[in-house]
Amino acid sequence: MKIKGYINNKICFILLLVGILVLTQIKLEKKFVYPFPCISNLSLEEASFLNFWGVLLGFRRLSADLVWIKMLQYYGTRKEGDDALSKKKYVGVEKEEYKKLFPFFQAVVKLDPFFCFAYLYGSGILAYNHERYDEAVSLLEEGITSNPKYWKFNFYLGAIGYKIKKQEKKVIYLLEKIVEYPDCPVMIKSVLAQLYEKKLQHIKAGLIWENILRTSNDKGYRKKAEKHLQY
């Protein structure tokens, strides 16, 4: 009987403690504006079983990283050479490929709105590799909302805007500013190098390819750089 009474007391204590924690959380939530979206705002596709529990237990950044890895695996199936400006290899076809790209990027930044590289990388791929400009702009605008002081988003918006208008000189000007930064995605560097080649500025293109070969860990882009440097 003593053991049973001890167990009952312990259960009551645990329930009381949980109740206090829940009430405390409710009071704090009324006073504190949380920067992340709640679980109910995530779509079913975004909130997989693994990510759901990651969010529930407070591991939002870890969950964002896991979704990011899934995105890289998903996009990693692209064929070698299917890159921006390769018009002969995809004349509008790739616009319809990788339909889950945008939802993947949205999932990542909803879990971790301060993951700035995800906005840059995602908008670059959507705009330059797939010409899905609306999705790219939407992603960047979401980034600006969550990170208003991160000025690079505005550079990307400008470059995409000029690309839509087919003003290549202005696109090159903005991309040249962007590639100066260490966190510039390798895909953007590749786009600039190919624009240089299109304008027959082979020395400038070679410098970009050499930079990719020297600094990138992406085997696909390193191989691509090696091929271009052989021409």
Q: How far is CA 173 from CA 160, 168, 176, in A?
A: 12, 9, 5
The yes or no reply on domain 34-230 and CATH 1.10.287 is no
Closest to 218 measured CA to CA, from 169, 168, 184, 174: 184
| pLDDT of amino acid 126 | 92
CA distance 81 to 129: 11
CA count, 13 A, side-chain hemisphere, 218: 18
Task: Output the pTM of the full model.
Answer: 0.61
pLDDT of residue 210: 94
Each of the 231 residues of the chain gets a pLDDT tens digit; together they read 555 555 666 677 677 776 776 666 666 555 545 555 554 444 435 445 555 555 555 677 888 888 888 888 888 755 444 444 444 343 333 555 788 889 889 989 988 899 999 999 999 899 988 889 999 999 999 999 999 888 888 888 888 888 888 888 888 988 898 888 888 888 889 989 999 998 899 999 999 999 999 988 888 889 999 999 887
